[in-house]
Amino acid sequence: MKVACSNCNLRELCMPVGLSAHELARIDEVVAVRRKVKRGTTLFRNGEVFQSLFAIRTGFFKTCVTAEDGRDQVTGFQMAGEIIGLDGIVNDHHTCDAVALEDAEVCVMPFDRIGELSREVNALQHHVHRIMSREIVREHGVMLLLGSMRAEERLAAFLLNLVQRLHARGFSRSELVLRMTREEIGSYLGLKLETVSRTFSKFAEDNIVEVRQRHVRILDTAALRRIVNQQPAS
């Protein structure tokens, strides 16, 4: 399917701002194809040759690696307006699987073409560097989360981050539908499934959130922030 960045409502999320009409037209030539990805299928797999970055147009993805014991370890969740595939830049092969958590559509961005165009459109090169930098910062944040936070802090930080990203896409500040399972959340946060379920229940008992299966309504955002920012007892 042919695609044009110039008339996409997610343009400001995944493309540089302030491009001229000519520069946008040049990018339209590069981002030439959309691909549909059915729920449960992979966009790319660990070990596959890296050729393209993918801008998520609709849908939700998880990235995961297979641990030594054979279990899937979730390394991230990605949504519309975000770029995936950056893991393949380092050694020309993907280092994780990207799996659609719901029917999705992505814009295919051949990396060699992006490289060529970046020499003409400086803003594009700067934007790719910003995306890569953001990914590094995110990974550092996850390491901090897993290294020093208790279960309640991890889940509170996860919910705050998710709702903030969704709000940037025009969704509610307080209501969200979880596209991932409790088990996948646990895998990402380094928590057992029972711990995730128990922590959700505690948040509900404390009137911080309201949970109905995958529908979550945040009743007290300030309380979630206090949980994340609480100081350890001296």
Residue at token pair 């940037």: 168
Given a cut of 70, whether residue 9 has pLDDT beyond it is: no
Q: How much is the pTM?
A: 0.83
> Which of 85, 130, 139 has its CA nearest to residue 107?
85
Query: Residue 37: its pLDDT value, please?
Result: 96
Q: Is the pLDDT reported for residue 196 higher than 90?
A: yes
Mind listing the pLDDT tens digit for each residue in 24-53? 666 767 776 889 999 999 999 999 999 999
How big is the CA angle at 76 (ends 214 and 151), to the nearest 5 degrees? 65
Supply the pLDDT for residue 232: 47
Mean pLDDT value across the chain: 84
Comparison of pLDDT for 136 and 61, the residue scoring more = 61
- pLDDT recorded at residue 67: 77
